[in-house]
Amino acid sequence: MGRSPCCDQPHTNKGAWTREEDDRLVAYIQAHGEGCWRSLPKAAGLLRCGKSCRLRWMNYLRPDLKRGNFTEEEDELIVKLHALLGNKWSVIAARLPGRTDNEIKNYWNTHIKRKLVGQGLDPQTHRPLVTRKDEISSTDEGGDLDLDLTISLRLPAASGNGGANWRATWPEVATPPPPPGPLCAPTICFCYHLGFRSDQACSCQPASSSGHFHGYYTGSLYKI
């Protein structure tokens, strides 16, 4: 594409931000708002690339950031969301007010990962860690347990079902293809599993007389 790397400009500062740079960035954004990161450094009188300014603002200077240790509830929520979404840190961060994707990613790598390993769980798959020996004996016995967590997204119904704002809430979610067929397995409400009350995050309902449930997560409909 021939894009010019924004951070290779001469006379561009790198590394830790100074107090003065922070002040300049905050003052500029308070006066003009976020947006157009490319031109912001020059306009704000900063010798930084736009990318660096954005990162600094998003991860450190934003006034709505919650500093300090993660609570036990946040900890559990991150684990559950990671089990569902994988390394989608920005999506996970969107569910934790005041936390940034970078912060959660760091926290995951330094704390939670180790914690899960300590509990005998694979931090990527959230399945129990198995030794080579276990794996072989399990296969030999034909005990092929597949615990793959597969999530498919479906558009909520045109009205009701709590899905009216799903696009606004989950803009990063692409419009899923139409479902291949009727639900084929009993499903559970994932929101409930995450600890949300129904009025907080979902309005799950039985999808059909078959008793299957669609899980709404803040408006998005999951077949679980």
Binding stretches for DNA (CB under 7 A): 1-7, 13-17, 35-39, 48, 50-52, 54-56, 59-60, 87-91, 101-103, 105-107, 109-111, 114, 172, 174
CB of 9 to DNA, least distance (A): 10
| Phi, psi for residue 16 in degrees, rounded to 5 | -60, 145
Nearest CB to DNA, comparing residues 53 and 204 = 53
- Give min distance, CB of 165 to DNA, in A: 18
By C-beta, is 17 or 196 nearer to DNA?
17
Smaller CB separation from DNA, 89 or 222: 89
Q: Which of 152, 149, 169, 153 is nearest to 95 (CA)?
A: 169
- Helix, strand, coil percentages (3-state) for the chain, rounded to 5, are 40, 5, 50
131/134 Cα distance (integer angstroms): 5
CB 170 within 8 A of CB 190: no
φ and ψ of 214, to 5 deg: -95, 140
**What letter would DSSP give residue 110?**
I
Distances (CA, A) of 37 to 42, 58, 174: 10, 12, 25
Min dist CB 73 to DNA, Å, is 17
Smallest distance, Å, CB 169 to DNA? 13
CB of 33 to DNA, least distance (A): 12
**Complex with DNA: residue 39 or 137, whichever CB lies closer:** 39
C-beta closer to DNA: residue 16 or 185:
16
Query: Least separation, in Å, of the C-beta of 102 and DNA?
Result: 5
> Which is nearer to DNA, 61 or 183 (by Cβ)?
61
Q: How far is the CB of 178 from DNA (least distance, A)?
A: 19
Write out the H or E segment, with its range, that includes residue 222: strand 220-223
DSSP string, 50-73: HHHHHHHIIIII-TT---SPPPHH
Q: Residue 55 or residue 155: which is nearer to DNA going by CB?
A: 55
Give the number of C-alpha atoms closer than 13 A to the C-alpha of residue 55, restricted to the C-beta side: 12
